[in-house]
Structure 1
């Protein structure tokens, strides 16, 4: 199974209509586990097995810059407990 990545992209979006269109454009890509947009910082966060170049291609109607690409952290992973 491919390893999930976390991609953070700065997107020049000014209103909720543009936000909706941008999220819809990116959501069509395969391999996305989660997709979120922070309107305050104008950052889109994509988690999943996705190529950042493909994401930028989908956002061609808006000025978009890749801020970071890294491993997605498993948030709900609990440490293993040993019974003694």
Structure 2
């Protein structure tokens, strides 16, 4: 699996969201360093689960679309004496 990386802008947005969550839901101030540390921890320890689920969802969607395409080919076939 490729390493999960975020751009600086993405990381800043996520860190901001973590800080807002801690403030709103837990009534705790979380500094930037602690929020970045928490993000790094979850990225390393939990990110793979989300990554794999995303791959499974994409695979299921692709399988579904390929089935539809395959059915469309059968619908286009003309009847011949070989059938």
Larger Rg, first or second structure (1 or 2): 2
Higher relative contact order (CA 8 A, sep 6+): 1
Given the two structures, how large is their TM-score scaled by the length of structure 1?
0.28
Higher share of residues assigned strand: 1
